[in-house]
Amino acid sequence: MFRTLLRSTPVRQALGLVAVAGLVNLLTLGLAYLQIRDGIEDTLHANLAQNMAGFRIAATPAAIAALVRAEAEVADPAARVFVYIWPNGRTTGNAEARLDPDGLSILPRPGGRPLSAAGYLPQVERIAGGVLIVAESRAPLAELSRTFLRLLIFSLAPTVLISLGAGVLLARRSARRVARIEATLDQLGAGDLSARLPVPDREDDDFARIGRGVNRMAAAQESSVAALRQVSADIAHDLRTPMQRIAVLLSDLRERLPPDAPETAIAARARDEAERAVAVFRALLQIAQIEGGNTRARFAPVDLAALARTFAELYDPTAEEAGHRLLPDLPDTPVMVLGDRTLLGQALANLIENALRHTAPGPITISVGTDAGTATLTVRDTGPGIPPDERDKVLRRLYRLERSRTTPGHGLGLSLVAAIAELHSAELALDDAEPGLRVSLRLPLYST
């Protein structure tokens, strides 16, 4: 959670802003502090100089001591210290002081009042053989530091907290919108071109603009795909009729030629080619029609096991003649699903024909099974299969047409199966049967 928040752009921006605000705050306060501190120090120095000047008029140690004593009477040593060290080392004043080679030290007088904890700013002068020490407490400076520290805390903490909070809020809001955009893009990427992003009309920020852009792109894509499908369906429709007439005429021609004339074989070959073309057109049209999807209204309960048994039986002699073996593995009890019997049968027929046509003689297993509310229809061969990286592609919309032209063996038959699976909201899977191809169609069981 925290890590994802940190990764989001608004939170990073908020943190950046907090850093900048803090830095500016720190800089201003720092400069102000220095300025005021200098002022206070100047005042302290001026006070010292003034106090010192008053003592310079005295000429003897006794006179100075008297002046010091008088000042010390009224001065609080916590604020200001006056000490005179006599030439004989005796001290007079409101504190004790010692002058060592390594510096001056001010100590409280025994039984006297306490000294300032903040330390002192001293001035030392030799007067009349003794040493006069006047020191101002540093308390105002310490007080200043404390004040500025409080200022810093009181101004910086709210800035940081408020900008951080606002950043997180913005981040979550934008994260949700980004997630919606991502979800829509994923849907579009997965092939659902009808996916759209909800964008209210009154919104006009950058997210709304991106959202509208995504929607425009998806709509353009959708309409061009629809147009492409329509065009291919139209072409197939317009070409199928004349092509089928050609096939019929060629068939007639073949009938009228003498059976052993070389022309007869040519006519037969031409008719076969024409019929192949008709079959392709028919498959294309049927895919277009299934993708249109209005056949769903006519769905009825279908016994998948019985259907598979019918087709296994129908294809059995053909398979045997081609050297294959059809092995039905079907339950005796009905396996009911909701669907179109003709289309499901056609899907099964296409799978069986694919296996018959494009694999070397071997066993072909047709099985129907049930598992947790789903029925699975499987056709398995022992042929070369489809390489893993091609499997998804042969089922992908539009791609498959391109693919089926270059992949011998899994042509429009498999595309039609994919369209039928989609109509039934069935899951179509191609896997490696090691060896061979296993095509399975999973659809929900029908319960009354």
By CB under 8 A, which span of 61-69, 160-168, 186-194, 279-287 interacts with other proteins? 279-287
By CB under 8 A, which span of 115-123, 132-140, 174-182, 286-294 interacts with other proteins? 286-294
For residue 112, which amino acid is it? Answer: G
Closest CA to 379 of 359, 355, 397: 355
Which of residues 124, 314, 401, 433 is near other proteins by CB under 8 A?
314
Q: How far is the CB of 356 from other proteins (least distance, A)?
A: 7
Q: How far is the CB of 419 from other proteins (least distance, A)?
A: 14
Q: How far is the CB of 216 from other proteins (least distance, A)?
A: 34
Which of residues 45, 245, 269, 325 is near other proteins by CB under 8 A?
245
Q: Which is nearer to other proteins, 139 or 349 (CB)?
A: 349
Query: Binding to other proteins (CB under 8 A): which residues in 352-371?
Result: 353, 356-357
| Separation CA 43–CA 209 (nearest Å) | 63
For 148, the token pair is: 């500025």
CA 405-407-410 angle, 5° bins: 95
For 340, the token pair is: 């179109």
| Separation CA 395–CA 417 (nearest Å) | 9
For 189, the token pair is: 């990427």
The yes or no reply on residue 345 touching other proteins (CB under 8 A) is yes
The yes or no reply on residue 123 touching other proteins (CB under 8 A) is no
Which of residues 79, 279, 401, 429 is near other proteins by CB under 8 A?
279
- Residue listed under structure tokens 């694919």: 354
The yes or no reply on residue 426 touching other proteins (CB under 8 A) is no
Residue 337 and residue 446 in contact, taking contact as beta carbons nearer than 8 Å: yes
Q: How far is the CB of 310 from other proteins (least distance, A)?
A: 6
For 343, the token pair is: 């289309």
| Cis amide bond preceding 435, omega within 30 | yes
Q: Which is nearer to other proteins, 252 or 432 (CB)?
A: 252
**Residues in contact with other proteins, total (CB under 8 A)?**
31
For residue 322, which amino acid is it? Answer: A
The yes or no reply on residue 317 touching other proteins (CB under 8 A) is yes
Burial of 283 from C-beta contacts in 10 A (0-12 / 13-18 / 19+): buried
Which of residues 146, 241, 265, 405 is near other proteins by CB under 8 A?
241
Task: Please give the helix or strand (H or E) that residue 370 lies within, else none.
Answer: strand 363-371
Name the site residues for other proteins (rule: CB under 8 A). Answer: 241, 244-245, 248, 251-252, 255, 279, 282, 285-286, 289, 294-295, 298, 310, 313-315, 317-318, 321, 340, 342-343, 345-346, 349, 353, 356-357
